[in-house]
């Protein structure tokens, strides 16, 4: 029976707690779309891992993550390198991975895509720092890692997630952050720089910022962003330019490399995060490996990964029209 119905994991704390307030609506919509289904609700950070393991051990073949990027990340860390299908339903703030894979924000439309069951295999990244962590979208450190760490305890959850993150990031840039001397190796490319921001991605967007414009999961390699020698107001200025991907024009301080194996050795530990989950604070050496075909995602059939970001809403609209 388990392999015939979806196992739904719901994070009620996502989107500033709005998901919890919509729980009855979410469950009734799941019932209308899926018919039979099992569900569990997370209570705290990390519960998504525990519940996904429970579903895996019970023999469920489809796990649906209803929440933000963090909920999806927790599920991904359990189902990596299996045949379990993962459904994506956006109920978080940024939901970067959901945008990458063309998932509509409307609950019923996203659930209909899951019910349709069309799936493809995609790469994952595997980062090794204090702990090992798979990521489906992007991992980052230095300035952005510090901002993500502060975001977890900042409060003000009533603010839109991307706006709140922006406020925190500006505070970190102005008062707390200094570039970190580091040696970076991307395949056979070596850079020794003072790192201001560092990101390794399978897609283009981080917390609403176009960090790696044009990057997507079908490139068959990581995009690696290196920002160097930036602090204070200059760092904030380039961060704001990243909202539209214009930071890459600053070739003196920002570079993008491409590759499958990344190693960074830093003079002091940096905070590392993946999809909002902190996995390393103490390590001075972090290794990141590209893993092809490592996860099975349910996506809209016909989604075009090389679509430029400005055209993605039109493509999502066409997919929604086909669903309805």
- From first to last of its 324 residues, what are the pLDDT tens digits of the chain? 466 799 999 999 998 889 999 999 999 999 999 999 999 999 998 999 999 999 999 999 999 999 999 999 999 999 999 999 999 999 987 789 999 999 999 999 999 999 999 999 999 999 999 999 999 999 999 988 888 887 666 555 656 666 766 777 788 878 878 999 999 999 999 999 999 999 999 999 988 889 999 999 999 999 999 999 999 999 989 988 998 999 999 999 999 999 999 999 999 999 999 998 899 999 999 999 999 999 999 999 999 888 666 666 666 676 666 666
Question: In the chain, which segments carry CATH 3.40.50.10330?
Answer: 2-118+299-323
How many Å is the Cα radius of gyration of the chain? 19
Answer yes or no: pTM beyond 0.85: yes
In this prediction, residue 173 carries a pLDDT of: 79
CATH 3.40.50.10330 fits 2-118+299-323, yes or no: yes
In this prediction, residue 125 carries a pLDDT of: 98
Task: Give the DSSP letter of residue 27.
Answer: H
Contact 171, 201 (CB under 8 A): no
In this prediction, residue 68 carries a pLDDT of: 92
Q: How many helices (H) and strands (E) does the chain have?
A: 10, 17
In this prediction, residue 114 carries a pLDDT of: 98
In this prediction, residue 175 carries a pLDDT of: 80
Contact 56, 79 (CB under 8 A): yes
In this prediction, residue 308 carries a pLDDT of: 63
Question: In the chain, which segments carry CATH 2.60.200.40?
Answer: 127-292
Find how far residue 191's CA is from the centre of its chain.
26
Closest by alpha carbon to 140, among 59, 226, 230? 226
In this prediction, residue 174 carries a pLDDT of: 81
In this prediction, residue 16 carries a pLDDT of: 82
Contact 215, 203 (CB under 8 A): yes
CATH 1.10.760.10 fits 127-292, yes or no: no
In this prediction, residue 3 carries a pLDDT of: 64
Closest by alpha carbon to 10, among 55, 54, 48, 53? 48
């Amino acid at each position: 029976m388990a392999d015939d119905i979806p196992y739904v994991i719901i994070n009620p704390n996502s989107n500033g707690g709005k998901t919890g307030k919509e729980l009855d609506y979410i469950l009734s919509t799941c019932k209308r779309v899926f018919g039979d289904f099992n569900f569990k609700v997370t209570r705290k950070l990390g519960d998504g891992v525990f519940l996904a393991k429970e579903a895996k051990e019970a023999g469920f073949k489809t796990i649906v993550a209803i929440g933000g990027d963090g909920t999806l990340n927790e599920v991904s860390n359990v189902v990596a390198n299996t045949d379990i299908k993962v459904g994506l339903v956006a109920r978080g703030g940024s939901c970067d991975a959901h945008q990458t894979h063309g998932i509509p924000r409307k609950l019923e439309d996203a659930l209909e895509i899951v019910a349709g069951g069309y799936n493809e295999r995609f790469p994952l990244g595997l980062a090794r720092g204090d702990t090992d962590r798979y990521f489906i979208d992007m991992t980052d450190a230095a300035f952005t890692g510090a901002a993500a760490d502060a975001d977890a305890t900042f409060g003000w959850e009533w603010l839109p997630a991307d706006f709140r993150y922006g406020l925190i990031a500006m505070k970190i840039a102005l008062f707390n952050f200094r570039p970190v001397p580091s040696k970076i190796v991307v395949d056979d490319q070596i850079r020794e720089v003072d790192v201001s921001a560092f990101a390794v991605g399978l897609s283009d967007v981080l917390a609403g910022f176009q960090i790696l414009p044009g990057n997507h999961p079908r490139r068959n390699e990581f995009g690696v962003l290196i920002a160097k020698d930036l602090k204070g107001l200059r760092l904030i200025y380039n961060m704001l330019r990243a909202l539209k991907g214009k930071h890459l024009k600053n070739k003196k301080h920002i570079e993008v490399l491409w590759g499958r194996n990344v190693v960074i050795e830093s003079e002091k530990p940096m905070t590392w995060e993946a999809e909002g989950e902190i996995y390393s604070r103490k390590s001075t050496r972090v290794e990141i490996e590209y893993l092809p075909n490592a996860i099975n995602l349910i996506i809209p059939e016909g989604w075009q990964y090389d679509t430029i970001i400005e055209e993605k809403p039109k493509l999502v609209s066409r997919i929604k029209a086909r669903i309805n």
